[in-house]
């Protein structure tokens, strides 16, 4: 079994590298730039680093980094928040079905597709140009196990039949100015996630800490899931982790991450990300003003939410 897995990983990595061959040959600078609604989708090469960004048309100085990868190690997740998203495997080490709202450069889907050959990964993204950039510049290949619907992430989930459940649900959706859609941050949305979550499933959400409504979004998450953890990265991102399965203590989270690290031999340190997870009272201390925050609801967005401009 181990030999079969290793053979699969070797062949799959070779296929990824072959798809990236033309990118390797490109000179440094912009290698992809296309108009997409209110922003441009831009891919820039800087030596061995490839970066996908959304640039707002109204303010060309805005540059929200969506995805980054190292051509010399395409399975390495460069951004620590993306590494933290892989903590989903602590709760579900062998997921049958995964749903991801937001695709970007497809870094997390590509890595999950590589290490979990038995898993089906469904994604939804409103931006077909970003998906084009991912398949052209990031080594992503869509197939029967990795699919992307050009659709709103909540709408996709709402259209699934009641018996469709996922072991892992992830949300990683931002526009070029850092705006996180209100309809993906409310109690009703997380209740929808819960409805399509397996009994031991887990939901992960990438948030920006400088979001004016950061505490409200954490509070809303807590209103639906019995255990909520947060994995903060510096003062930039936080990954929320929610589950309604048995409560897992910090030492067990770290122990499971260590096992996964040894098994998969990730090029990043999943154990280190697990050690950064805040649980219980640690979470309240890590999120300023959490005790004063209100739950976000579909029909009552807080004043100023749609004016939120992070840059």
State residue 93 phi and psi, 5-degree precision.
Answer: -75, -25
Structural domains of the chain ordered from first start: 74-287 (3.40.50.150)
Amino acid 178: pLDDT = 55
Q: What is the pLDDT of residue 311?
A: 43
Q: What is the mean pLDDT of residues 267-282?
A: 95
Q: How far is CA 275 from the centre of its chain?
A: 19
**pLDDT of 38:** 76
Residue 255: Cβ-neighbour burial (10 angstroms; 0-12, 13-18, 19+): middle
Mean pLDDT across the chain, nearest whole number? 91
pTM: 0.94
Rounded distance between C-alpha atoms, residue 76 and residue 111, angstroms: 8
pLDDT tens track for 144-195: 999 999 999 999 999 999 999 999 999 998 765 556 889 999 999 999 999 9
Q: Are 185 and 220 in contact (CB under 8 A)?
A: yes
Give pLDDT, residue 50.
94
Mean pLDDT computed over 7-21:
91
pLDDT in tens, 208-240: 998 899 999 999 999 999 999 999 988 888 999
Q: What is the pLDDT of residue 63?
A: 55
Nearest Cα residue to 99 out of 223, 16, 204, 218: 204
Strands (E), the chain: 29-36, 39-46, 49-56, 64-70, 97-101, 120-125, 146-150, 166-171, 197-208, 227-233, 237-243
């Amino acid at each position: 079994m181990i030999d079969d897995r290793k053979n699969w990983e070797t062949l799959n990595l070779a296929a990824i590298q072959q798809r990236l061959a033309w990118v390797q040959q490109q000179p440094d600078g912009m290698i992809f730039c296309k108009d997409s609604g209110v922003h441009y989708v831009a891919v820039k090469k800087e030596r061995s680093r490839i970066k996908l960004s959304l640039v707002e048309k109204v303010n060309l100085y805005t540059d929200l980094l969506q995805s980054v990868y190292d051509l010399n190690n395409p399975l390495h997740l460069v951004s620590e928040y993306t590494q933290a998203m892989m903590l989903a495997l602590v709760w579900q080490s062998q997921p049958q079905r995964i749903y991801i709202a937001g695709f970007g450069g497809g870094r997390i889907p590509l890595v999950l597709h590589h290490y979990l050959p038995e898993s089906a990964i469904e994604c939804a993204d409103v931006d077909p140009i970003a998906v084009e950039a991912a398949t052209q510049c990031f080594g992503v290949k869509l197939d029967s196990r990795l699919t992307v619907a050009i659709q709103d992430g909540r709408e996709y989930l709402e259209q699934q039949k009641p018996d469709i459940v996922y072991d892992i649900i992830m949300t990683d959706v931002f526009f070029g100015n850092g705006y996180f859609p209100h309809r993906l941050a409310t109690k009703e949305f997380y209740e929808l996630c819960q409805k399509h979550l397996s009994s031991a499933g887990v939901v992960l959400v990438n948030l920006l800490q400088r979001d004016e409504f950061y505490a409200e979004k954490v509070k809303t998450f807590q209103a639906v899931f019995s255990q909520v953890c947060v994995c903060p990265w510096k003062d930039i991102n936080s990954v929320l982790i929610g589950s309604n399965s048995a409560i897992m203590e910090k030492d067990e989270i770290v122990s499971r991450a260590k096992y996964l690290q040894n098994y998969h031999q990730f090029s990043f340190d999943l154990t280190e990300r697990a050690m950064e997870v805040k649980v219980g009272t640690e979470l309240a201390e890590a999120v300023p003003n959490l005790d004063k925050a209100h739950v976000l609801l579909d029909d009552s967005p807080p004043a100023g939410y749609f004016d939120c401009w992070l840059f």
